Every structure is written in structure tokens, then in C-alpha cells.
């Protein structure tokens, strides 16, 4: 991250690290915590809520911050609203409304990023760029949510310049929303293989899994 910031002539403090702990166990999270990392990302609701509960038992005094970064169906919002601190994958008003309704009143507002589809692929997750501003205004009005910014996952591109060009689309949308007074502070983009390009395009949060924890086991496709 320091190298990426140096290359982009950015202050290293302007980019934060979300350690993506999906598929890694609570021991791995504890090791990262001991190394000073506090923000963790999970993709799967059940795996995430189980890990959150384990960490609460094992490290009751640690100030952990859990981000849900995986695709979210509207019938799976309740455990997310009850256990996570952030949701970065909101791309529909219905999901946002349910999260707002289900956020327990004793907890702080749920911090939200809208996932935007910068590639334009029709069946990908993420709101289309031309529907983003309307969704952002509607989500910003929901009482138990706090809209913080945008998240994107562009298709893997072969080199730095093509990666950066896709990330710059998200940066333009982010700047446009802020020019309309949305007050966003989080542009979540960049993963193990493309974080340098994302930082060059203005990312404020990189979501890194393999480069922190090592390679993940191949995805199991059949139930065991």
C-alpha cells in the first residue's frame, strides 16, 4: 500500500486496509488483529456471523469492524443488519430499506457503500451508473443507515492502465455525487491483484484477501 501510494503521490494515510477474511478461520483473524488490523471483510452471511460471534468470545475487548462485501439477497439482510458494522454491497433500494428497518436501535447506524457496476455487464452485481444518483439520494434518507461511499469490483483487466481506467469511472461517479453535496468519504476499490491501479485512481479503501492471508482453497461447488 505504501508503494502504491508513493507511486500515485498520495499520502499513505489516505488509504485504509480492509482485510478480507472470507474462507479463513478465526485464528487467522486473531493473528491479523495482533498485528494491528481491525477492519475485516466477509462475503458470506453465515460464515461472517459465525466468525463475528467467535471473535466476540475470544477477544471481547477488541474493537473490531466487520464489513459485509458479498452479494446480498433481500431475504438475508437481517443477520447482516444485526451483526455487521458496514455493508459495501448495497445495489438496490429494497435491500437498503430492509437493512434500515432491521438495524437494531441500540446499535449505531449501519455504514453503507453502494456497489456500482462500472463495466456495464448486464448480469453483474452493482447499480448501473445512470441509476446511481437516484439510489444514493434514496439511501441517504433512510434513518438507520449512513451512506459513506461507493464500492466497485471491475472485471480483471490485463494491465495497469486498463485497470486504472475502470477504477477512474468509479472515481468520477464518486466526485459527481460529492459535487451534489452527498458528503461521501469512502471509495472502496482495489484487491490483491489490482490495488496499485485502484490507489492511482483515488481509492480510499483497498479490500485485500490473498495478499494478507495467503491463497484461498478452491471454491467448493457441491455441498459436503
How would DSSP label each residue in 118-174? SS--TTSSSB-HHHHHHHHHHHHT-TTEEEEEEE--PPP-SSHHHHHHHHHHHHHHH
Does 22 help bind ligand PLP (rule: CB under 6 A)? yes
Residue 152 within binding range of ligand PLP, rule CB under 6 A: no
* CA-wise closest residue to 76 among 39, 40, 108, 44: 44
20 binds ligand PLP (CB under 6 A): yes
Say how far apart CA 111 and CA 96 lie, in whole Å. Answer: 11
# residues near ligand PLP by CB under 6 A: 13
Per CB under 6 A, which region of 59-67, 129-137, 179-187, 209-217 contacts ligand PLP?
209-217
The least CB distance from residue 113 to ligand PLP, in Å, is 11
Cα gap 83→129, rounded to integer Å: 29
Closest residue by Cα to residue 43 from 16, 18, 7, 9 = 18
Q: Which of 188, 210, 209 is nearest to 199 (CA)?
A: 188
Q: Which one among 17, 32, 40, 43 touches ligand PLP, defined by CB under 6 A?
A: 43
Contact map string, positions 86 to 125, toward ligand PLP, x by CB under 6 A:
----------------------------------------
Contact map string, positions 131 to 150, toward ligand PLP, x by CB under 6 A: --------------------
User: In the complex, what is the shortest distance from the CB of residue 194 to ligand PLP, in angstroms, rounded to a whole number?
Assistant: 9
Q: Report the distance separating Cα 34 and Cα 28, nearest Å.
A: 10
Answer whether 127's CB lies under 8 Å from 116's CB.
yes
Q: Does 192 bind ligand PLP (CB under 6 A)?
A: yes
CA-to-CA dists, residue 145 to 7, 27, 28, 78, 108, angstroms: 35, 31, 30, 14, 9
**Which grid cell sits at 30?**
486473531
Nearest residue to ligand PLP, scored by beta-carbon proximity: 209
Please identify, using beta-carbon distances, which residue of 69 and 112 lies nearer to ligand PLP: 69
Find the helix or strand (DSSP H, E) in which 30 lies.
Answer: helix 26-34
The stretch among 5-13, 120-128, 141-149, 187-195 that binds ligand PLP (CB under 6 A) is: 187-195
CB-nearer residue toward ligand PLP: 22 or 38: 22
4, 90, 191, 198: which one binds ligand PLP (CB under 6 A): 191
CB of 146 to ligand PLP, least distance (A): 20
Question: Which residues form the interface with ligand PLP (CB under 6 A)?
Answer: 20, 22, 43, 69, 153, 191-193, 207-211
Amino acid at each position: 500500500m505504501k508503494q502504491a501510494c508513493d507511486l500515485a503521490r498520495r499520502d499513505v494515510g489516505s488509504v485504509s486496509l480492509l482485510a478480507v477474511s472470507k474462507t479463513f478461520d478465526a485464528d487467522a483473524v486473531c493473528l491479523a488483529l495482533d498485528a494491528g488490523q481491525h477492519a475485516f471483510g466477509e462475503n458470506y452471511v453465515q460464515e461472517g456471523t459465525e466468525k463475528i460471534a467467535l471473535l466476540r468470545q475470544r477477544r471481547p475487548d477488541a474493537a473490531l469492524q466487520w464489513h459485509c462485501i458479498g452479494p446480498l439477497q433481500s431475504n438475508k439482510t437481517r443477520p447482516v443488519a444485526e451483526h455487521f458494522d458496514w455493508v459495501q454491497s448495497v445495489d438496490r433500494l429494497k435491500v437498503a430499506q430492509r437493512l434500515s428497518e432491521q438495524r437494531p436501535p441500540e446499535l449505531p447506524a449501519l455504514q453503507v457503500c453502494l456497489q456500482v457496476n462500472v463495466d456495464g455487464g448486464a448480469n453483474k452485481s452493482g447499480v448501473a451508473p445512470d441509476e446511481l444518483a437516484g439510489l444514493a439520494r434514496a439511501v441517504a434518507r433512510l434513518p438507520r443507515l449512513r451512506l459513506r461511499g461507493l464500492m466497485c469490483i471491475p472485471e480483471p483487466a490485463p494491465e495497469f492502465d486498463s485497470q486504472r481506467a475502470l477504477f477512474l469511472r468509479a472515481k468520477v461517479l464518486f466526485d459527481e455525487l460529492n459535487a451534489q453535496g452527498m458528503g461521501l468519504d469512502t471509495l472502496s476499490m482495489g484487491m490483491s491483484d489490482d490495488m496499485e491501479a485502484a490507489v492511482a485512481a483515488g481509492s480510499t479503501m483497498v479490500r485485500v484477501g490473498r495478499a494478507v492471508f495467503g491463497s484461498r482453497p478452491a471454491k467448493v461447488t457441491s455441498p459436503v
